[in-house]
């Protein structure tokens, strides 16, 4: 069998090497650069007539799947919700009682579409909006989960004591890599990973995406080289999982949290120069953790209040549009009764 290499490539291909002759085969791509690495099947059919359309369709599905992978659960939910709920329900409402009305039920379709768009996506879009606002209000470290913030605080304090405020970013990432891999890799290999992290730390906004993928790929490749290690929490079954002080994390998520933290907190401490001390470190972390609590509780509270309001959308019309064509308009019915009484 040919050796499988997955060094910092965005995809590593697995091919059948038993045959000397190259034949049309199925190729599976392992995506290592995304936050949620997964298999994306890309099936190429090269025989017979009418296969071109099939290839285009398969490639389109493959692209959608890869966008879902890189976008995470939010994108996956929105795609499934829109295709599986919004479209069919709106379509059904559009044609409800069409024969009785003599035309499509526009009012029912409008109400159904409004409810579906506001209810499902709002569960993600509202928290997402708060997170976007928090980055500008409280800094990128407010995007880091509270348990990770506490671990980063301890690592920062240790790194600060090592060499005061000199080369704090380098010392911080050195401590990170030491905790991730202990003595399982050489010092030279560790320094390569630290350098990758530092390049990401110092990256310009337009460089962050590619450098994040590079660091993620490096960590996954290192996990594969180490293999199964219970102590470090590394397993060949899922090499996209990293372990920091007993806390398992997805590699892509972890790299993003490192970038958000160091570009905010580490830079703030470094900017203080000789005035930096442990008290300043604690003040900064207390502020970031407080901001994280505020954003989380506010986002959940706002989303809950919004979802509680959703049922009121069902009553935006005096009469449910879905009944149009099946019932008599109450106002016209009352007028007819009054006319009968006058007679």
**Residue 198 has which token pair?**
């530092």
Per residue in 192-242, pLDDT (tens digit) is: 999 999 999 999 989 999 999 999 999 999 988 888 777 777 777 778 888
pLDDT at 13: 34
pLDDT at 36 over 50: no
pLDDT at 186 over 60: yes
pTM of the model: 0.61
pLDDT at 334 over 80: no
The structural domains of the chain, with segments of one domain joined by +, span 1-71, 140-287
Higher pLDDT, 8 or 159: 159
- Sign, CA dihedral 12-16-18-19, equals negative
pLDDT at 52 over 90: no
pLDDT at 191: 94
- Computed over every residue of the chain, the mean pLDDT equals 75
Region 128-144: what's the mean pLDDT? 82
pLDDT at 57 over 90: no
Q: How far apart are CA 124 and CA 143, in angstroms?
A: 15
pLDDT at 50: 67
> Which H/E stretch holds residue 241?
strand 241-244
Higher pLDDT, 69 or 217: 217
Q: How far is CA 308 from CA 85, 303, 311, in A?
A: 20, 9, 7
């Amino acid at each position: 069998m040919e050796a499988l290499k997955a060094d910092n490539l965005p995809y590593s291909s697995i091919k059948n090497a038993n045959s000397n002759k190259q034949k049309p085969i199925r190729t599976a791509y392992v995506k290592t650069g995304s936050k949620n690495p997964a298999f994306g099947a890309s099936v190429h059919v090269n025989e017979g007539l009418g296969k071109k359309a099939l290839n285009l369709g398969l490639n389109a599905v493959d692209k959608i799947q890869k966008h879902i992978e890189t976008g995470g659960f939010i994108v996956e939910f929105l795609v499934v919700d829109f295709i599986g709920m919004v479209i069919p329900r709106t379509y059904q409402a559009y044609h409800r009682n069409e024969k009785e009305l003599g035309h499509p039920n526009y009012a029912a379709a409008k109400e159904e579409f409004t409810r579906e768009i506001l209810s499902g996506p709002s569960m993600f879009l509202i928290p997402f909006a708060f997170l976007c606002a928090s980055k500008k209000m409280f800094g990128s470290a407010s995007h880091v989960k509270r348990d990770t913030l506490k671990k980063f605080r301890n690592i920062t304090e240790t790194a600060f004591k090592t060499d005061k405020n000199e080369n704090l970013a380098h010392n911080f990432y050195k401590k990170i890599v030491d905790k991730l891999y202990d003595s399982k890799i050489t010092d030279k290999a560790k320094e390569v990973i630290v350098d990758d992290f530092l390049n990401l730390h110092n990256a310009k906004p337009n460089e962050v995406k590619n450098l994040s993928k590079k660091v993620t790929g490096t960590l996954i490749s290192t996990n594969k080289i180490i293999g199964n290690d219970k102590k470090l929490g590394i397993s060949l079954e899922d090499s996209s999982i990293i372990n920091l002080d007993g806390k398992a994390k997805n590699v892509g998520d972890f790299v993003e949290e490192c970038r958000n933290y160091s570009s905010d907190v580490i830079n703030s401490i470094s900017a203080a120069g000789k005035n930096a001390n442990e008290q300043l470190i604690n003040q900064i972390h207390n502020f970031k953790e407080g901001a994280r609590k505020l954003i989380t509780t506010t986002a959940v509270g706002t989303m809950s209040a919004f979802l509680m309001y959703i049922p009121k959308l069902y009553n935006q019309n005096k009469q449910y549009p879905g009944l149009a064509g099946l019932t008599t308009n109450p106002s016209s019915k009352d007028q007819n009764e009054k006319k009968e009484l006058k007679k």
